[in-house]
Amino acid sequence: MSANKIVRSICYFTENPNAETVKELAEITRILEQNGYLVQTRRLCAPVNDITSLVTLVPDGVDYLSIGTISIDDAVVQLPALYKHGSALFNVDLSTVEIEEKHVDILFQIIKNSPARTFNFTYVFNNIPSSPFFPSGSYERDGFSIGLQPIDLAESCATLTEWLNAMKGCWTEICQLFESRPDFLGIDGSTAPLVGEKGSLVALVKKFGYDFNRSVTTDTYTKITKFLKDENPKPAGLNGLMLPCLEDTELAGEYEKGNFSIERNIYLSLHSGLGIDTYPIGVDESPARVLQILTLLQALSNKYKKPLSARFVSDGETRIGERTNYKNQYLAECTIRAL
């Protein structure tokens, strides 16, 4: 298999999760691996509204489980199960509700009681279903979608166009592999960075000749997302630019230099991205400030009819101005700035 043809996530969406669903995931994995793809995670999303029930229904063979979108009241009830099961995730939709203290309080409860689980929870606004990327993934209909880790494909590419075409080549191949399956929902072409230079979108942009500060006022990112929208032969899910602050090592470095403020994150998300993701938050951050940011995201998402999300992460100890200790292989460490 190719070291650079990487599937980050295969996600099966089903109303009736069981052992057969796990077998389907295994078969999809087998087909991809036979055709040179490295499959990182197999995931399952079911609208059961109860983490413990989902964990009970699904046997081993799935890396991550999601109950998708639930209400804030249900989310509070699910917190003990979220703390217990590290493979479980969910999101809360704030698209149309009046955002109140209780919507922010759940984040600070997680920070206090099980900070590692801040990685497993996000707020969403005008979310698009069937994304294989969690915690934003949500159920709409039965079937499976696939998400790549496409930045690795750029290793041997000299230009942005070469990389985009390499990505399209994988999309086309995957669609051909599953064209006979009616349960194939499609591919989420989102960029999905990962810790390490090889998986960094910012490192990729620098490779193609742009300083990050300068790149944000060029059309680089809009070119990428236009390609994701227009050239994907079977789109499913979000298909946007992922800007996970701490999952992209180079982006975490820009954050530390003050070049990836919350304002810049929101600006880039509005024209090309998917929202605020793995963004560091200090344990002493003001809940009122988080409420302001969520309220702004809601207003912008509704004004521009743009899917956005917000996932803040904490290690449960680090205050603003101090250095983190996440103990998470997927998160870069940093010195936390105020929001």
User: What is the CATH classification number for the domain harbouring 18?
Assistant: 3.20.70.20
How many structural domains does the chain have? 1
N-terminal to C-terminal alpha carbon distance within the chain = 42
309-323 pLDDT tens trace = 999 999 999 999 999
* pLDDT tens track for 161-208: 999 999 999 999 999 999 999 999 999 999 999 887 788 999 999 999
Over 90: is that where the pLDDT of 60 sits? no
Residues comprising the chain, all counted: 339
Residue 326, in any domain of the structure: no
Is residue 334, in this structure, part of any structural domain at all? no
Range of the domain at 151: 6-313
222 located within any domain = yes
DSSP at 316: S
The pLDDT of residue 2? 54
Cis peptide before 135 (omega within 30 of 0): yes
Is position 150 within any domain?
A: yes
314, 317, 233, 304: which is closest to 275 by C-alpha? 304
**In-domain check, residue 171:** yes
User: For the chain, what is the mean pLDDT?
Assistant: 96
* Domain assignment present for 190: yes
For every residue of 56-85, which 3-state class applies, written as one string? HHCCCCCCEEEEEEECHHHHHHHHHHHHHC
Q: Is residue 77 within 8 Å of residue 51, measured between CB atoms? A: no
Domain membership of residue 152 (yes or no) is: yes
pLDDT tens for residues 251-268? 999 999 999 999 999 999
Domain membership flag for residue 338? no
